[in-house]
């Protein structure tokens, strides 16, 4: 086992945090590699994106991050870090999905289709749509829409029924260990998991294999990052679309000036350099 001086754990959101509107994956990969090298850090990318989408970024990295995809409903890691405890391998990663429904995404789709057929609910999921239709609805390119449709754990829906029927539908989901989360344009059928408990799961495995980290730095900007930020040893909060921050600054909460790879790298470096100096000073006093 190693002691707390060995590595930092950094769990970060992508859109609005590591990535800005330019979506520069090359610069983001360079930032990940830079902070991983500078601080002996393991980076966990925690996003609503699919695994297929996240692998487009990972392929540009030399310090390969761990992946918490579809808002923590699935996790992926390199076997040399945690071992072979996944359900399958994809892109060199061990993959575990956290769906309570048997047969994974296809099982989830089957249950949704059953409820739609039996009760007449009106909705369209990504599995019902073509790449071109998703591209038209989201503004993604057709190739990016294809990656967004390669789902393993969750299903975005366009609800076309009444609010009253939506409440009934949510009750059906709850009985299956599922929930409905609003994502703005879509409603997402997901297991009852989050980015925060996915980080807790993976960090527990890492403690078993590598020993405890110096600490966990959580980075995010939106409501679905709040639990992750609150459960981190240090929170680095990025401004939302309106310029506001989810949490006020404190000894353990820091504000980044902007989203994007360079701002993310600079803010992470500043926070971890300061915290490392403080921990070094504490060790000297003992």
Residue (of 229, 148, 133, 143) closest to 188 by Cα position: 148
Average pLDDT, the chain: 93
Mean pLDDT across 36-42: 96
Report pLDDT for 284. Answer: 47
Q: Are 218 and 232 in contact (CB under 8 A)?
A: yes
- Say if residue 160's pLDDT is above 50: yes
Report pLDDT for 282. Answer: 61
How much is the CA Rg of the chain, to the nearest whole Å? 20
- Say if residue 86's pLDDT is above 50: yes
pTM: 0.91
Q: How far apart are CA 147 and CA 121, in angstroms?
A: 27
- CATH (residue range 104-191): 3.30.980.20
Report pLDDT for 2. Answer: 35
Residue ranges covered by each domain of the chain: 8-98+194-285, 104-191
Percent of the chain with pLDDT over 90: 88
Q: Which residues of 4-14 are buried (b: 16+ CB within 10 A; e: fewer)?
A: eeebbbbbbbb
Q: How far apart are CA 277 and CA 209, in angstroms?
A: 26
- CATH (residue range 8-98+194-285): 3.40.50.1000
């Amino acid at each position: 086992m190693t002691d707390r001086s060995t590595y930092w754990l950094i769990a970060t959101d992508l859109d609005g945090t590591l990535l800005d509107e330019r979506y520069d994956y090359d610069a983001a990969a360079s930032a990940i590699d830079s902070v991983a090298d500078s601080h002996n850090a393991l980076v966990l990318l925690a996003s609503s994106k699919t695994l297929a989408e996240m692998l487009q970024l990972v392929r540009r990295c030399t310090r390969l991050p761990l992946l918490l995809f579809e808002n923590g409903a699935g996790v992926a890691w390199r076997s040399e870090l945690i071992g072979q405890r996944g359900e399958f391998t994809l892109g060199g990663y061990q993959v575990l999905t956290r769906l309570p429904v048997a047969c994974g995404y296809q099982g989830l789709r089957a249950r949704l289709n059953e409820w739609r057929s039996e009760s007449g609910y009106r909705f369209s999921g990504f599995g019902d749509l073509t790449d071109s239709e998703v591209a038209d609805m989201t503004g993604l390119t057709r190739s990016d829409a294809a990656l967004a449709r390669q789902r393993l754990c969750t299903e975005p829906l366009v609800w076309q029924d009444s609010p009253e029927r939506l409440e009934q539908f949510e009750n059906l989901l709850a009985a299956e260990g599922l929930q409905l989360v609003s994502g703005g344009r879509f409603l997402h059928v997901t297991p009852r998991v989050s980015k925060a408990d996915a980080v807790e799961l993976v960090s527990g495995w890492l403690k078993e294999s590598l020993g405890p980290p110096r600490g966990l730095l959580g980075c995010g900007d939106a409501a679905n990052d709040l639990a992750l930020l609150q459960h981190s040893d240090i929170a680095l909060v990025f401004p939302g679309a309106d310029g506001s921050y989810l949490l006020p600054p404190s000894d353990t909460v820091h504000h980044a000036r902007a989203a994007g790879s360079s701002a993310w790298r600079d803010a992470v470096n500043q926070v971890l350099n300061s915290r490392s100096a403080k921990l070094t000073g504490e060790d000297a006093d003992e």
